[in-house]
Amino acid sequence: PTSNFKASLKESEGNREIAFKVIKSNSYTYRLQPEKPLTNYKSYILTIDEETSDISGNRLQKDFRLTFLPLLRDSATNSQGK
């Protein structure tokens, strides 16, 4: 359940928190969507808190941090197949 999922999304530079929502979840997967589009080629950190637990109540041993960089093509480039 989403009540067992605790996470934060922040910009790597400036540490500004980015609001997001869980748009889909099941017992294996959570799908997240930021409330505003992320900036292309800007680094972000998703932290899943150690308080997060699975359906059996098992918690993470420590926070899980994922640093990522959105790489989005513009729609004109996508439509031309480049």
Tell me which residue has tokens 């997240």: 32
Is 82's pLDDT higher than 50?
Answer: no
pLDDT at 10: 97
Q: pLDDT tens digit string along 2-26?
A: 778 899 999 999 889 999 999 988 7
Q: pLDDT tens digit string along 20-78?
A: 999 988 767 889 999 999 999 999 999 999 999 888 888 999 999 999 999 987 755 44
pLDDT at 55: 81
How far is it, in rounded angstroms, from Cα 82 to Cα 79?
Answer: 8
Bridge pairing between strands 7-11 and 44-48:
antiparallel
